[in-house]
Amino acid sequence: MNSGLKARSLRGLDFINFTLADVRDGIGPFLGIYLLSSQHWNLKDIGLATSIATFAGVMVQTPAGAFVDRLKNKKIIVAIASLLIGFGTLIILIQPSLTVVIISQVVVGIAATFIAPSIAAMTLGLVGYKRLEKRTGRNEMFNHGGNVTSAVLSGLIGYYIGLKGIFIFTLLLSLASVFFLRFIDNDQIDYQLSRGSLSQDKKDITSSWTGIISNPLFLIFTACCVLYHFANAAMLPLAGQYIVSENKVNASVYMSACIVIAQLIMVPTAAWCSAKSTRGRKSLMLLCFAALPIRGLLYTLSPNPYFITSVQILDGFSAGIFGVVSILIIADLTKGSGHFNLANGILITAVGLGASLSNLAGGYIANLFSFRYAFLFLSAVAALAFIICLIFMKETYEPDAR
């Protein structure tokens, strides 16, 4: 295999992770701020709008993972998904009604479901299992670096141009992602490896997918991830809305600062995690789960934008670990099955369900009671994820089996 072509494909993977970082979630937490400050929506409708994308993704994530396993050209999946997210986000500016926003977020949510398993598949197909820890950590470093860059630019755009400029910026990033796909040579991606199969036979030799979903460790890990994302997804959007409701400030600046701080922490955390993961996965996941309830409790102490922004250090630490270790655990549990992306899709489906309910539940609790009660509730859910992982989850890493 030509090492020059392989190196070019890996550089292309770097670029894709960098540009797709902010595309896959649309405009993310800025949507809630835009709808609250510019369109004067109520918190219940904002909760519905911000959760519908994730909920729509839940409906197709598992078949999306199976589709990625089957389709050899992963690049075309990423290209179509990126364009749908960019243009789907842009139509909100044309008509920001409840109906249009919901349709837009459904399109964005469905398209986004194909990106994560496609990136994971291309990664495994390019580097194999022996280099997966290092490459996954590198993916996450570029992903978080892209998030930092886009968050800074989004904050500047929101401050100097207005929140509408962030929508256009997301479209430009989606177009850039499609451009950088040209650096990845599809022939360099080992199809069998990309789906988690160790067979060199060109025939479709795989184990039964039912063996994956009946694996007790997979079910336990999935349950922990659902609870984690149920607790995590609504925290940052609610924090931004908390700042808006209690302070007469430009929330887009502080929201960008929250994202930047978290992402800056994620970059070294991903590198550290990728090195430590060769000693085991469970202890790292426990650290990930432990940071979230602490973060939620801290949010209840003050609506001061500087304080809330500083708490994002914990978000960066927790998410930095999750981004690396969750992929490695799925790779451990599905090695040789041929269903790596299907299992990844099942996990993301479950995680997406938790995340979509998070925004909905968080919005309703904040609307009926207060932001503090919403943060307390989410912290309790996060603590439950830690307890389940501590008691029931076993180590999945087997160095001798590599």
Residues 190-202 have pLDDT tens digits of: 888 887 776 554 4
Q: Is the pLDDT of residue 342 over 90?
A: no
CATH number at residue 361: 1.20.1250.20
Confidence of residue 250 (pLDDT cuts 50, 70, 90): low
Residues 6+ apart with CB under 8 A from 216: none
The total of other beta-carbon atoms located within 10 Å of residue 38's CB is 12
Kindly indicate the confidence band of residue 239, based on its pLDDT and cuts at 50, 70 and 90: confident
Average pLDDT, the chain: 82
- Asked if residue 206 has pLDDT above 60, the reply is no
Comparing 5-9, 202-206, 251-255, the range with the smallest average pLDDT is: 202-206
pLDDT: which is higher, 229 or 161: 229
pTM of the model: 0.73
3-class state of residue 71 by DSSP: coil
pLDDT at residue 318 in the model: 93
pLDDT, position 188: 84
User: What pLDDT, in 10s, does the model give residues 144-172?
Assistant: 788 778 777 877 887 788 778 888 888 88
Residue range 361-380: mean pLDDT, rounded: 88
Is the model's pLDDT at 393 over the cut of 70?
yes
Structure-token match 């207005």, residue found:
162
User: Which alpha helices (H) appear in 95-234, and where do they start and end?
Assistant: 98-112, 115-127, 132-160, 164-180, 191-194, 210-213, 216-232
Q: Are 163 and 34 within 8 A, CB to CB?
A: yes
Q: How far is CA 84 from the centre of its chain?
A: 17
Given a cut of 70, whether residue 400 has pLDDT beyond it is no
Q: What is the pLDDT of residue 2?
A: 57
Packed helices 132-160 and 115-127: angle between N→C axes, nearest 10 degrees: 140
d(CA 279, CA 99): 49
Does residue 125 register a pLDDT over 70?
Answer: yes
The closest alpha carbon to 75, from 121, 29, 34, 135, belongs to 121
DSSP state of 206: -
Q: Are 328 and 196 in contact (CB under 8 A)?
A: no
Which amino acid is present at 140? E
Q: From 127, 125, 115, select the one nearest 67 (Cα to Cα).
A: 115
The confidence score (pLDDT) of residue 39 equals 75
Per-residue confidence (pLDDT) for residue 201, from 0 to 100: 45
How far is it, in rounded angstroms, from Cα 57 to Cα 60?
A: 6
Helix then strand then coil, in percent of the chain rounded to 5, is 80, 0, 20
Q: SS3 for 208?
A: coil
- Binned at pLDDT 50, 70 and 90, residue 242 comes out as confident
Q: How far apart are CA 316 and CA 380, in angstroms?
A: 20
**Residue tagged 């069998």 (tokens):** 192
CA 25 to chain centre: 8
Which pLDDT score, from 0 to 100, does residue 5 have?
59
Of 115, 121, 104, nearest in space to 146 by CA? 115
196 dihedral zone (left: phi>0; alpha: psi -120 to 50; beta): left
Chain centre distance of CA 337: 24
Total number of domains in the chain: 1
* Mean pLDDT within 325-347: 84
> What tens digit of pLDDT does each residue of 6-22 get?
788 888 889 988 888 76
CA geometry: angle 390, 393, 397, nearest 5 deg: 120
Is the CB of residue 28 less than 8 Å from the CB of residue 112? no
Q: Both tokens of residue 216?
A: 């007790």
pLDDT the model gives residue 222: 93
Instruction: Quote the percentage of the chain above a pLDDT of 70.
Output: 89
Chain mean position to CA 387: 23
* 204 has pLDDT over 70: no
pLDDT reported for residue 205: 42
What distance lies between CA 130 and its chain's CA centroid?
24
State which residues form the domain around 347. Answer: 3-198+207-401
Burial class of residue 139, CB neighbours in 10 A (0-12, 13-18, 19+): buried
> What does the pLDDT look like over 86-97, one tens digit per residue?
888 888 888 878
Out of 265-269, 276-280, 346-350, 385-389, the most confident range is 385-389
Quote the pLDDT of residue 156. Answer: 82
Alpha-carbon distance of 112 to 107, in angstroms, equals 9
Residue 203: is its pLDDT beyond 50? no
The span from the CA of 93 to the CA of 280, in Å, is 47
pLDDT for 25: 63
Max CA-CA distance within the chain? 64
